[in-house]
Structure 1
Amino acid sequence: MTATTGLTIEGCVIVSAEGNLADADRLMPDALKFPGDQAFFAAALDRADLIVHGRNSFEDQPNSPLRRRLIVTRQVAGLAPDPSNPKAVLWNPAGASFEDACIRAGVSSGTVAIIGGPDVFALFFDRYDTFFLSQAPHARLPGGEPCFPGVPERTPEQILSAHGLCPADRQILDADHDVSVTTWRRG
Structure 2
Amino acid sequence: MLADASGVMPEALKFEGDKRFFTAALDSADLIVHGRHSHEGQPNSPRRKRVAVTRTIAGVADDPLNPNATLWNPAGAPFEAACNHAGVHAGTVAVIGGPSVFDMFMDRFDTFWLSQASKVRLPGGEAVFSGVPGQTPQQILAQHGLKPGNAQVLDEANGVTVTPWQRKP
Shift >2 Å, 4+ stretches: none
CA distance in 2: counterparts of 1:84 and 1:75, whole angstroms: 14
CA distance in 2: counterparts of 1:140 and 1:75, whole angstroms: 34
User: Which residue matches 2:44?
Assistant: 63
CA distance in 2: counterparts of 1:91 and 1:146, whole angstroms: 23
Match of 1:141 among 110, 116, 122: 122
User: Which residue matches 2:156?
Assistant: 175
CA distance in 2: counterparts of 1:158 and 1:90, whole angstroms: 31
Corresponding residue pairs, total = 168
Other structure's SS at 1:145 match: coil
C-alpha offsets along residues 23-62 of structure 1, whole Å, 9 cap, x if unaligned? Answer: 1111111111000000000000000000000000000111
CA distance in 2: counterparts of 1:81 and 1:24, whole angstroms: 32
Other structure's SS at 2:12 match: helix
- Alignment partner of 1:29 is 2:10: yes
- Alignment partner of 1:47 is 2:28: yes
Match of 2:131 among 150, 174, 177: 150
CA distance in 2: counterparts of 1:143 and 1:185, whole angstroms: 28
User: What TM-score does the superposition give when structure 2 sets the normalisation length?
Assistant: 0.98
Amino acid at match of 1:123: M
Amino acid at match of 1:115: I
CA distance in 1: counterparts of 2:86 and 2:136, whole angstroms: 33
How far the C-alpha of 1:169 sits from its partner, in A, is 1.3
Match of 1:120 among 98, 101, 119: 101
Q: Percent of aligned positions with the same letter in both sequences?
A: 64
Unaligned runs of 5+ in 2: none
CA distance in 2: counterparts of 1:109 and 1:179, whole angstroms: 32
CA distance in 1: counterparts of 2:57 and 2:5, whole angstroms: 27
CA distance in 2: counterparts of 1:78 and 1:141, whole angstroms: 35
C-alpha offsets along residues 92-141 of structure 1, whole Å, 9 cap, x if unaligned? Answer: 00000001110000000010000000000000000000010000011111
CA distance in 2: counterparts of 1:86 and 1:129, whole angstroms: 28
User: What TM-score does the superposition give when structure 1 sets the normalisation length?
Assistant: 0.89
Comparing both structures, which one devotes a greater share of its residues to strand?
Answer: 1
Unaligned runs of 5+ in 1: 1-19
How far the C-alpha of 1:156 sits from its partner, in A, is 0.3
C-alpha offsets along residues 164-185 of structure 1, whole Å, 9 cap, x if unaligned? Answer: 0000111000000110000111
User: Which residue matches 2:112?
Assistant: 131
CA distance in 2: counterparts of 1:27 and 1:89, whole angstroms: 24
